[in-house]
Chains A and B, each alone.
Chain A
Amino acid sequence: MGATQTHSEYQYENMVGKTGFSTEQIKNLHMRFQQLSGNEKTLRREHLKNIPALANNPIKTEIIEAFFDKRNQLDNELGSYEEIGFEEFLMVMSHFRPLSIKTSAEEKTAMRKQKVRFLFNMHDTDGDGKITLEEYRKAVEELLSESGTIGQEVARAIADAAMLEVASTNVPNMGPDDFYEGITFEHFEEILKDLEMESRMHVRFLDMNTANLRCGQ
């Protein structure tokens, strides 16, 4: 047990540097990872789908996909994994780290970019670097799906209106025959700039081990 302990501790050190979590937090997340994966080394989509609390979430599929998306790891590959290890899991989680009081202004901008990038990747499902109208429509439909029968039409209309707004603010002078391909990353950043993502998009990672406080998943 001792040898594996030091081995994992060594790995933890690496990850602290890469992801910015503290050792305590990494330990807790590792425990959670093992709980989710049933003590296997890798996590698959089914493991995440089985979390009961996630069942009510309208964008469940997108969230699960985000974990397996290669673009959310630091290397800029496209595509998705079939199963992920703890490092990839941690990498995705690091997108939700809260700001600390010591972050400088550049770090803040970098973090915000990273978080917005994560959101962008969630919407841009085909990986072409743009959010097309179809993708946007799908996202809005999913959001509204938990309200039942309100229906496709309204979702489409809302998505259309939103898309129009993005186009209008970013490319104000389009001729009548130009076609707005889709929301690029820069445009996406532009429309979200008022929302202050760096302070809103975070989850509290406790230093205390809460996995033991709940039985089961």
Chain B
Amino acid sequence: MFSRMAPRGRSGLGRSLAELGLLLLAILVLLDGTVLSLVAAISSESDTHEAKPVTHKNTSKKSFPVLGIKYDDVSVPFEIALWVLLASLMKLGFHLIPRLSNVVPESCLLISVGLLVGGILKLARDEVPPVLSDRIFFLCLLPPIILDAGYFLPIRPFVENIGTILMFAVVGTLWNAFFVGGLIYAVCQIAQDQYSDIDLSTIGILPCLLFGSIISAVDPVAVLAVFEEIHINELLHILVFGESLLNDAVTVVLYHLFEEFMDSGSVSAVDAILGLVSFLVVALGGVLVGAFYGILAAFTSRFTSHTRVIEPLFVFLYSYMAYLSAEVFHLSGIMSLIACGAVMRPYVEANISHKSHTTIKYFLKMWSSVSETLIFIFLGVATVEGEHHWDWIFLTSTVILCLVARIIGVVGLTFIINKFRIVKLTTKDQFIIAYGGLRGAIAFSLGFILHSEHKRIFLTAIITIIFFTVFVQGMTIKPLVELLAVKKKNEAKRSINEEIHTRFLDHLLTGIEDICGHYGHHHWKNKLNRFNKKYVKKILIAGDRSKEPHLIAFYHKLEMKNAIQMVESGGGSKLNSSFPSTVSMQNIQPKIQSPPSARPSERVLPQLTKGREEEIRQILRTNLQKTRQRLQSYNRHTLVVDPDEEGFDDLFLKKRRRMELDWKVCKTSSHKSSNAIYSQAYVKPGAENVPTIQIDLASPQSPDSVRLLDEVVQDQGLTMSLPSSSRGAYKTSGKDDGRDQQTLLRCLSDPGPDPDDDDDEDYDDDEPVPT
């Protein structure tokens, strides 16, 4: 490792030392675990000795133990924390080693680490804790990942391709299950392996089918882990990923079905029909349960304006409840979780503060990331722990059959699906879809809880498949994507023009459909949107935000982002660095020959000269400092206006600010809407048409902000005569002030240069009807 780093010079050496340090730390942690478990064994003995002197005080008096070890009480949380710490450190470590993370996907590395840890533990204690028990997996490790996926599911592509996704998920999985199960049975019957000590022909058809159903499901965790790193285009990503989510219902049904059949011993036609009904119940029931909890969460979030700190908690709790409730009734927990996240998102996001939104986003990402890491490590550990039965014929035939089944399934289904699709799936697409069918920990956990007599051989086979798909397919998919020149993800942000024209197109197509006279997709989509706007939004979204059209919300977000960028770059006239052009507002405003007595021409600010820029920066700096000093004590139970938000206030300040404040302080007493956070100050559009953003200060609710209000009113410091924003700032009137205030309140303090930011921009409150 050193020889590779040395040529890089000093920084390389420093970095390699850091990495070495990290690795040492990781090893220490590992050893810690083993040492402490040994200590635990010792201390449990000493504890029993300790008990005696307490009860028999009169007998020998021990000296007061200054330092003692009492491990048992904290053993469980301690071990859990240790595992999580190990996982996180491993994750850190991989990204420090640059070349490794490019070649090998993270999941492979994590499994290897798991194998290593498992091996160490086995050597140290001669037994490995059963870490990947199904309860831990299904109740603790899986939900965060699925919730993260569901909450940030890009709704539009998902619903547009829902037909294709369902075909792959349902029909594809069924095909896989029966194909693999049936052929494996055939293989077992005809195989005569003299090296194996299990007679394969004793495996009945039902266990084989059960095995097939476990192994056939594409795993969302593995797909996410691998696809995250290859950045393929949205369509393929949503197809494979959507399939992995929706096939959970199929897997659940098949699994229980075959289990029941195995117990009862015979299958009848009635049972088969009941199985079909059960599938519908499981799938739809899961979705309904999820949607129900989603609506509850949305409704709750409507009233959280006074308790912003616990807003994220509602999101997490309701989702988890949805999952657990679905599990109670043997419905599909995954589908319930997805439905809950997807349903509640548009409404919750309209209601909660921006900080809560950020919190939710980062918590979900954090939990899902840790969960994923843990799952892969545990997979490695469980491999070491399990009792295996290595049977060559069974294993190789399983692997081959799985691959073959997947390929045939995808090709066959695509052939049928392409007849109904506008945008056809090409051969390249099919290859990626087939190749991306990774199996993962869900299959393992399901195998773990089998009661079959052939459990060991099944488990070995499942692990082999998982290893094969994750290692071989996971590692080679990236070069293959490059080789085949598959279209990559379009990283560009959506521009305001695209947004406008998308809306325009939607309305246009709806209109054309109406003229044509048939109820097409756009017609129903339009109807759904209007229903949503008219009834649902009114109930679930607080206050005025229910009326805000999507285009305006989008525009607000864009402006807010620009404003933040501007603050971060220290003010100045060039706002958007992605448009390094000299075009400014004046270039597009038509030059009006207005009489000089009337308002100044619509030409907005000329370019600021250097001197002016400096002046403005200075003013901004001093005012930012001033307001920070003035902030009062931090109260844990109210969200006080952040000093950083004052920066925006200064930034967009205008001459009429004082006038507004006068209006505002008057109006605070007469609340227009029931939601007291808004005070609607009416500001007449004045003489100038100079576009500015007028952001009112914080909510009048918190006492601290009122104090700030007064102080800012008295602040004479700011004498900016030019509005400092030259692009896209606008003047609003009336109700908009309330909303602006809301948007300022929800202003975020740390946007972070995070590509994930665009995730939330993607969602639509429209629900497009699928093609």
Interface, chain A (partner B; CB < 8 A): 29, 32, 35-36, 48, 51, 53-54, 56-60, 63, 67, 93, 96, 98-99, 101, 119, 122, 132-134, 139-140, 143-144, 146-151, 153-154, 156-158, 160-169, 171-176, 178-180, 191-192, 194-195, 197, 199-206, 210-211, 214, 217
Contacts and interface: CB of A to CB of B under 8 A. Distances in A.
B581 interface: yes
Interface of B: 418, 422-424, 490, 492, 495-498, 500-505, 507-523, 526, 530, 547-549, 551-552, 555, 558, 576, 579-591, 606-607, 685, 691, 727-736
A54 B511 contact: yes
Given A157-B730, A158-B551, A199-B423, A165 B512 contact: no
Given A53-B514, A99-B422, A119-B504, 17 more contacts: A36-B517, A57-B514, A139-B504, A144-B551, A146-B549, A147-B549, A147-B552, A150-B735, A160-B691, A164-B588, A167-B583, A169-B579, A176-B607, A191-B501, A194-B490, A210-B518, A217-B517
A59 B504 contact: yes
Nearest to B418: A101
Nearest to B562: A161
A151 B736 contact: yes
A151 B422 CA distance: 38
A78 to B, nearest CB: 21
Contacts of A175: 582
Given A143-B500, A150-B736, A203 B512 contact: yes
B359 to A, nearest CB: 29
Contacts of A132: 590
B579 A179 contact: no
A201 B505 CA distance: 7
A174 B523 CA distance: 43
Contacts of B582: 172-176
9 contacts: A29-B516, A32-B516, A169-B581, A172-B579, A173-B581, A174-B583, A199-B422, A203-B512, A203-B520
Contacts of A60: 511
B206 to A, nearest CB: 43
Contact of B581 (A53, A172, A205): A172
B422 A168 contact: no
B502 to A, nearest CB: 7
A144 B515 contact: no
Contact of A162 (B496, B509, B691): B496
Contacts of B576: 168
Contact of A164 (B519, B526, B727): B727
Contacts of A197: 505
Nearest to B590: A133
Contacts of A151: 733-734, 736
Contact of A195 (B423, B498, B516): B498
B588 A133 contact: yes
Nearest to B498: A195
B512 A153 contact: no
B517 A211 contact: yes
B515 A192 contact: no
Given A36-B515, A119-B504, A164 B728 contact: yes
Closest 7 CB pairs of A and B: A157-B730, A172-B581, A168-B579, A53-B514, A161-B728, A210-B518, A147-B549
A27 to B, nearest CB: 13
Contacts of B505: 119, 195, 197, 200-201
Nearest to A116: B501
B591 to A, nearest CB: 7
Nearest to A47: B515
A119 B501 contact: yes
B515 A51 contact: yes
Contacts of B606: 176
A165 B517 contact: no
Contacts of B518: 204, 206, 210-211, 214
A157 B690 CA distance: 11
